[in-house]
Chain A
Amino acid sequence: MKILIVDDSRSMRMILKRMLAGLGYTDVAEAEHGGDALGKMGDFVPELALVDWNMPEMNGLDFIKAVREKREYDRVKLMIVTSESSPRIVYEALKAGADEYAMKPITSEIMDDKMQLLGLS
């Protein structure tokens, strides 16, 4: 399964990548922000994108909106992974078209659960 990590922090990407590898997902690409991710999705269409909320250039919300505008990405599942906890943000994200919402710090078990909820594993 192809997974795209969209996060502006190198170390966070590294953590998530390792976590996914532990769960058996190795076909993983990384992007530094929403704009970067949209570029990468030109030739790497993931089945799941883990999206940080707060990023420079293009934040998570705008990225989700941009992805949901394109029909060819209909099948891409979008999971917000953030430490933002305000209900307003959860609501905005889901309204914009996010499929799932996970709070940092996320554990390997929760990640696995969320995958199942999304019907991906």
Chain B
Amino acid sequence: MDDGELDEVVNEFITESHENLDQLDQELVHLEHNQDPEVVARIFRTIHTIKGTSGFLGFGTLESVTHVGESLLSKLRDGAFPVTTEITSALLAMVDAVREILGSVAGDGSEGSLAYPELVVRLTQLNDGPAAPVEPEPVPVVAASEPAPLRAIAGGAAKKPRKRAPRTLPVVTVSTAKDDSGVLVETESLDDQPVDTVGMLGLQLLEDHKISEDQLAAALRQQDDGDTRRLGEILVEANALSPKDVREGLKTQVEDRPTANETIRVDVSLLDDLMNLVGELVLARNQILQFTQNQGDPSFNATSQRLNLITTELQAGVMKTRMQPIENVWNKFPRVVRDLTIGCGKQARLEMEGKHTELDKTLLEAIKDPLTHLVRNAVDHGLETPQQRLAAGKPAEGVVRLGAYHEGGQVIIEISDDGAGIDAGVLRRKAVQKGLLTAEEAAGRSDRDMLNIIFQPGFSTAEVVSNISGRGVGMDVVKTNIEGIGGSVDVQTVLGRSTTFKVKIPLTLAIIPALVVTVSGDRYAIPQVSLLELVRLDVHHAQSGPNGQGGGGIEWIQGVPVHRLRGRLLPLVFLDEVFGGDQTTSAVADREAYNIVVVQADDHQFGLVVDEISDTAEIVVKPLGRLLKHVDAFAGATIMGDGRVALILDVMGIANHVGITSGERGAGRHAATNAEAADAALDRRRLLLFSLGDRRLGLPLEAVARLEEFRARDVEISNHRPVVQYRGEIMNLVDLGEELRIPRARVDGQPMQVVVYTESDVSVGLVVDEIFDIVEESFEVTQRSSVNGIQGTAVIQGLVTDVIDVRGILDAALPGLLARHTTNRTSEVAAA
């Protein structure tokens, strides 16, 4: 074999070995728990094959490492002794070593200077059976030994390392076999019509002795010099062979490859190119369709419809070739979990569901690291130690569950553990300690809001920073990475029971469905994944009363325009203002109607007010130019049917830009104002100002769900307490005047002013005299109060104002209502 042929064999060897090794990790971990002779046999075979081939190719180190591994495996296969943790660790270390050597071979053609004397010794010792006491072993690390000369180990068998061009192009397998990792390229056409699929016709002809090496070389030179004809054509014209020979050559070549009928191997870069071309084709198609609409010619119309259909199918087909099952990434996790559990003395089982769920290869690569991090976190931070678990009445072995499924054009990946959950209280304390939040801010945040703080840079909840995860970097990077590919990550937790991370990512990045809108004469595209609904407000409705009772208009809360959509406040963003367009058309100016695009960014819903909503379209995402790249309101650009450019809106970027952060969520689900918070000085906060008699009072706006009016005759008595029917439920009323012992200025016949406070789905109505205003300003509680229910007194807008402690009052007035309800909820969850 000459060097070129050898290279080819070596490449094949590397690809094949990697394919087998990927399975090995999983199988070894499986083996540790199930002594399955079939699996031992498979593992043995893989190592055996690698050893055998490395002997041929002169890779001495590889041969010596796999040799001892093979002997150990043959003992296991013969049942000489059972598989122990120690043995599994050593074998996994061997797999790592093999990978490392293969990596080196792929890089420069040599095995590199690494030798593995310690690993070889370790494996050799294990050949005599497992050592008696098995100490909890450190995470297996390949011994980084001194670079012993390659020949010393190889016993002189190694050939001189050959210089090879680095070859790092990744290759995906595309196949029709369902259980295979690659997917679906029909290759029937190859059989009907032989083509030079692998560019190796020359070699084939040479092998068949149809042409001489000189003839081939001459033809190849001709191609290099710019002759675009196929090799066969050139050779036929040079009278080197007959057309029949070419046909036969091509045919043998196809038949000769045993797997060619089912699968072909394609360079990923080729698929990338194809995807780009299809993207361009989609653009051209869109332009032609636009053009067609202006033409009356029916036959042209029919042709472009056909073009439309074919393009769509082609696009789907090409996208399919790039799809890979998420299994390809998940396969690494059993090993990760195993090493981690040993490293931190825990017990864990990994369960997977939906591993065949497919997504674009690029996306798969992009989520690999974030997912690995989340899985590590689940074991390291999520699960408790076996002792803690037993004490909590759970099985010693924890479960980490991976799930993947498609939902509405997105792939959802869930990583959950049945560990201790995340304690919002601990998060609050940490956040304050680390100076990320003030005590007041922390107290004012709902548990749900607090959870999201784990995604903030510099936040780590690990009590002890372990060497595995919890280095204070991580979750923020996870979030950034996932958002970088247009996805989102969300966390849910049940204290003491479980934590679930939900990662949503788009199926593909290149071509996405979007809604096209017009703002100040320019067109913009809003990705469909961010869209919730479209709302059109007629101008009569829009200009409703200032108290917002008009049911469907635009209201103003502290200078922020909002729309009350089915009872919930939706902050509005006037895009023309954001983009600095023509100010005269904005806001309350004389529009006939408001077009509101309701979008979702993260957890926040808000409305984008646009001039016109045009249509939905498949758009091809193009990166932004250098000058616009830093503008966070745009995610990219696209070319519209008429050939003009439209910018793609980044909904998340806009939300950040205009500062939509708390909105209705914070107000709606405010958690308890606890004692800690009351002690802390009040920082810049929003207060609802109201009166009781001649006293002026304030309560934190976060505690306010809604403001309502009730008539005296609506009030009923239940269980000796005043209640009203409110939204289909019975709501307790608490007269703040009574609770705080402040005489009320009662005016008969007037409706009662009620502040609705909601916590954990329980609403309570606080009856006050008059509601004045909502303010947001910095103030200081100058005087702490000893009166129950009053946090302290501050000067607000130049007037003395008592700030009340809502939770304190409610606990006194309705003892146990909120706490009891919370307990009920917990047990419901437990029962479910």
Contacts and interface: CB of A to CB of B under 8 A. Distances in A.
Chain A bound to chain B: yes
B16 A11 contact: yes
A54 B207 contact: no
A21 interface: yes
Contacts of B13: 11
Contacts of B42: 56
Contacts of B9: 11, 14-15, 18
Given A32-B258, A56-B42, A8 B208 contact: no
B1 A83 contact: no
Q: Could you tell me the dominant secondary structure of chain B's interface residues?
A: helix
A113 B40 CA distance: 35
Contacts of B8: 14
A22 interface: yes
B45 A8 contact: yes
Contacts of B45: 8, 54-56
Given A11-B12, A26-B209, A30-B258, A83 B44 contact: no
Contacts of B16: 9-11
Interface string B1-24: 100010011001100110000000
A12 B52 contact: yes
Interface string B196-220: 0000000000011100000000000
A22 B1 contact: yes
B56 interface: yes
B56 A104 contact: yes
Interface string B31-47: 00000000000101100
Contacts of A42: none
A8 B258 CA distance: 11
Interface string A30-67: 11100000000000000000000011100000000000
B209 A18 contact: no
A22 B17 CA distance: 25
B53 interface: yes
Contacts of A106: 56
Nearest to A82: B52
Contact of A9 (B1, B52, B207, B209): B52
A105 interface: yes
Q: What are the nearest 8 A-B pairs in CB distance? A: A105-B55, A11-B13, A83-B52, A105-B56, A11-B12, A104-B52, A9-B49, A54-B45
B51 A83 contact: yes
A21 B209 CA distance: 11
A47 B43 CA distance: 33
7 contacts: A10-B12, A12-B52, A22-B1, A31-B258, A54-B49, A55-B45, A105-B55
B53 A21 contact: no
Nearest to B14: A11
Nearest to A84: B48
Interface in B269-310: none
Given A11-B16, A18-B5, 7 more contacts: A10-B16, A11-B9, A12-B52, A12-B56, A26-B209, A83-B51, A104-B55
A54 B44 contact: yes
Contact of A26 (B44, B49, B208): B208
Task: Identify which of A8, A9, A104 gathers the most chain B CB atoms within 10 Å of its CB.
Answer: A9
Contacts of A32: 258
A14 B51 CA distance: 16
A55 B45 CA distance: 7
A18 B7 CA distance: 12
Given A18-B9, A104-B55, A105-B55, A12 B208 contact: no
A29 to B, nearest CB: 9
A55 to B, nearest CB: 7
Given A11-B12, A11-B53, A18 B1 contact: yes
B207 A83 contact: no
Contacts of A9: 16, 49, 52-53
Contacts of A14: 8-9, 12
Contacts of B12: 10-11, 14
Interface string A61-88: 0000000000000000000001110000
Contacts of B53: 9, 11-12, 15
